[in-house]
Structure 1
């Protein structure tokens, strides 16, 4: 068994087909809280913290935050958990990772929510600049972040770029997200890798790409690039949802994951 670069902290619940949930840059496994318990009613669900984010240790010194290392690390952790070719669901950076795993034939299906890697010539920097501002803002003292999280306008400041409706976030979740971004030791390395990253590989496993029409970090226009590059995937607009659509449209996300898993399971049964 290959050794992981980082032992990824994760939450696991339920039984059935394995479904792995992968968050975006600067976020944490709790991003999936709005859908985790419901998914666990049907699947063996694993929500993980990527290396250098949430509670997971960063990569060893000198290890590059690139897609090859990230995929190798994820698969090594899958093996540690006794999971083979799971269904993967990813948001933003996590969506790009899910697609990379799918392109390598390492997973059974892919559900990608506003995935990175479909930038136009300008909006790559339109995404990275707000992320850098959010990262800088998160360095405020914890007491300030706590106070802002307890007020509606503060939740808008902290989560306004991430959600179509930041008002759905409560104080504890907002504060936790702010601390996760503040303490993300892998942020700068992952962001640097994203400057030149582009996804343009065929994915043969069943794939769904869903995009929030109110995404302010990776605008919905990028969905048209994804359609051109992955014409065989299912492309779904999430009307009114933002960049992290689990908070805006949890029922729709649950349904899309279930449909993609069912498609993969049906295809596998026909092959068998």
Structure 2
């Protein structure tokens, strides 16, 4: 892994090699400015996945908190939440391989469980993070579980929105996204029309219960991400690896293993989550030795984007201990 100053240097929107990357980096910078977050855009070369891009904000001497995003989102989608923590914590927000400004990645024909965390272990080593607090949303929650189970590299574990790893029950449409060829057609259909309007529709349908508080630049980020062809290919690759003709991968049910996580754990779960309702998560939390469960009335799958500050307050109180 590269550890020289150049590898960790900040990257400006103009410093990327393709027009799609520059367009995405510009949208990311505009969202950070809108959210009032002083954030650095950086990269590091990892052995497991090549270039990993991450955002870094907050107090460089504070306790580190790593944020992990969902399956089709990116690191930048956490930006609206970071200002609530930036005064005291060191915040590190990586793009998963194949999303945002990280290297594209092929997920099929890989050992998915190990690949989903190997780049994070490399990143932690590069940044001197032993066992940071980890906050995960959706697929990022599944990765957070695996960091705790397989690497023991989590201090406090916070799952915001329904995390992957608690159920194999998905909608029929979501299962179709795991079928090679079929998902190609579905992605093509979803790409038709205006990219920003598509971002608005998907946000309202999947991510939030009330989109009235979603920042306008947030949609620009999603639209720019949809224009990165290599990353869209990588996303299809991941979803193909997550199932087999609609039968979801065993990684989506870790419930027999989760009681083995002894780190302090907090679930923050909206009643209007588009994946699973809180009734799915409560028994999981009850099975764990040191877990609390907070139900947010009227909040969706990415609850920090809904109106109100309850998500930030719950996460902050948990991290503060």
Residues 1-272 of structure 1 aligned to structure 2 (within 5 Å): 3-15=47-59, 16-59=62-105, 64=110, 66-104=112-150, 105-113=152-160, 114-119=162-167, 122-123=169-170, 125=172, 127-128=174-175, 135-140=187-192, 144-146=194-196, 148=197, 155-156=200-201, 158-181=203-226, 183=228, 184=231, 185-194=233-242, 195-196=248-249, 197=251, 198-200=253-255, 201=257, 202-230=260-288, 232-248=290-306, 251-263=309-321
The DSSP-based 3-state class of the residue aligned with 2:206 is coil
Give, in angstroms, the shift of residue 137 of structure 1.
4.7
CA distance in 2, matches of 1:130, 1:163: 21
Structure 1 unaligned residues grouped into runs of 5+:
264-272
CA distance in 1, matches of 2:313, 2:303: 13
Greater alpha carbon shift after TM alignment, 9-18 vs 111-120: 111-120
Give, in angstroms, the shift of residue 212 of structure 1.
1.2
Taking structure 1 as the reference length, the TM-score comes to 0.81
Structure 2 unaligned residues grouped into runs of 5+:
2-45, 243-247
Greater alpha carbon shift after TM alignment, 166-175 vs 110-119: 166-175
CA distance in 2, matches of 1:54, 1:239: 31
CA distance in 1, matches of 2:107, 2:316: 39
1:232–1:125 CA distance, 2 compared to 1 (3 A) = farther
Q: Is this contact kept in 2: 1:88–1:109, CA < 8 A?
A: yes
1:236–1:129 CA distance, 2 compared to 1 (3 A) = farther
* CA deviation vs aligned residue, 1:140-193 (integer Å, no higher than 9, x gap): 25xx123x27xxxx7245532211112322443123214425643432232234
* CA deviation vs aligned residue, 1:88-116 (integer Å, no higher than 9, x gap): 10100001111111223111111012101
Give, in angstroms, the shift of residue 206 of structure 1.
0.8
Greater alpha carbon shift after TM alignment, 165-174 vs 7-16: 165-174
Q: Is this contact kept in 2: 1:19–1:86, CA < 8 A?
A: yes
CA distance in 1, matches of 2:316, 2:57: 16
The DSSP-based 3-state class of the residue aligned with 1:123 is coil
Taking structure 2 as the reference length, the TM-score comes to 0.70
The DSSP-based 3-state class of the residue aligned with 1:38 is coil
CA distance in 2, matches of 1:63, 1:243: 30
1:5–1:164 CA distance, 2 compared to 1 (3 A) = same
1:90–1:134 CA distance, 2 compared to 1 (3 A) = farther
* CA root-mean-square deviation: 2.8
CA distance in 2, matches of 1:102, 1:242: 25
Give, in angstroms, the shift of residue 124 of structure 1.
5.9
Give, in angstroms, the shift of residue 253 of structure 1.
2.7
